[in-house]
Amino acid sequence: MSNDDALILTETDGHVGIIRLNRPKVLNALNPELMSMLAAQMEAYDKDSNIYVILLSGSEKAWAAGADIGDMAEQSAISMYERDQFATWERIKRVKKPVVAAVSGWCLGGGCELMMHCDVIIASETAQFGQPEINIGVMPGAGGTQRLTRALGKAMAMDVILSGRFLTAAEAVHHGLVSRVVPKEHFYTEALKVSQVIASKGPIALRLAKEGVLKAFETPLSEGLEYERKLFYTLFATEDQKEGMRAFMEKRKPEFKGR
């Protein structure tokens, strides 16, 4: 990861495909070019049969301080509509493999919304979360009013979105916005460790389990349960199910192959 001009930096570590946001001068503000490169790289990892998990990280100072305000300041309603900047976010939403987020520092506006597109979130104790769009005369536009409300509940989401206040990492984990909080020196190594643990599981089971959890946000309970059962039965068509269960019976570690 060495190219100073690249908007994102990439590398792989075993079956983990790593992406780091790289606009340090503007606290990783998300402009359309960066988002389009990010979506393309996530899709590339999603298609790569050697990658089981995607790890998305910012820097220690900033995960991302939001959509790029300079890029939006002089846009009109029509130009915003025509350029359809959230189409790239839809592509990120469609990624099937688990996405782990390593979050430290500022995680605001579109940054917080990007984090909420991820599946397992490892946050540094210094991370600060918020949807401060209200301070600049707008409101969240990449899912904040919907996903933050599902994560925090109505009263907390209204507080954060209407007052523009920031949540600490302790508040975020308490309210279920992030998965774990760790000391700031370890936020990236912990997220990589968690990614490696997840990548040691069967990749098809991982994808279907993610699909099942996300379905819970889209359906009534009875429909979600029915959907889950079908995903569960489908896994009995995989070699990994046979390997996983036989390995347990034979008291050995399973070797999953993603088949």
Residues that bind ligand CAA (CB under 6 A): 26-27, 29, 65-70, 106, 108-110, 113, 132-133, 135-136, 140-142, 144
Selected catalytic residue, list 29, 67, 142, 191: 67
Say if residues 181 and 169 touch (Cβ distance below 8 Å). Answer: yes
Q: Pick between residue 73 and residue 221 the one whose CB is nearest to ligand CAA.
A: 73
In what helix (H) or strand (E) does residue 192 lie, and over which residues does it extend? Answer: helix 187-199
DSSP-derived letter for residue 165 is: P
Tokens standing for residue 33: 């070019």
Selected catalytic residue, list 113, 130, 157, 191: 113
Tokens standing for residue 103: 């979050």
Instruction: For the CB of residue 59, give the shortest distance to ligand CAA in the complex, in Å.
Output: 12
Residues 92, 47: Cα–Cα separation, whole Å = 13
Whose CA is closest to 138, among 64, 70, 69, 71? 69
Q: Examine the residue annotation and report whether 133 is marked as an active-site residue of this protein.
A: yes
Q: Pick between residue 177 and residue 205 the one whose CB is nearest to ligand CAA.
A: 177
Phi, psi of 130 (to 5 degrees): -175, 165
Q: Examine the residue annotation and report whether 58 is marked as an active-site residue of this protein.
A: no
Instruction: For the CB of residue 236, give the shortest distance to ligand CAA in the complex, in Å.
Output: 42
Q: Pick between residue 144 and residue 202 the one whose CB is nearest to ligand CAA.
A: 144
Q: Pick between residue 19 and residue 67 the one whose CB is nearest to ligand CAA.
A: 67
Q: Pick between residue 55 and residue 64 the one whose CB is nearest to ligand CAA.
A: 64
Q: Examine the residue annotation and report whether 239 is marked as an active-site residue of this protein.
A: no
Selected catalytic residue, list 110, 143, 144, 202: 110
Instruction: For the CB of residue 113, give the shortest distance to ligand CAA in the complex, in Å.
Output: 6
Q: Examine the residue annotation and report whether 74 is marked as an active-site residue of this protein.
A: no
DSSP-derived letter for residue 179 is: S
Instruction: For the CB of residue 56, give the shortest distance to ligand CAA in the complex, in Å.
Output: 17
Whose CA is closest to 20, among 103, 91, 88? 103
Residue 13 CB: number of other CB atoms within 10 A? 13
Residues 71, 74: Cα–Cα separation, whole Å = 8
Provide the Cα torsion 93, 52, 55, 133; round to 10°: 10
Report the residue count for the chain.
259
Instruction: For the CB of residue 196, give the shortest distance to ligand CAA in the complex, in Å.
Output: 31
Q: Could you list the active site residues?
A: 67, 110, 113, 133
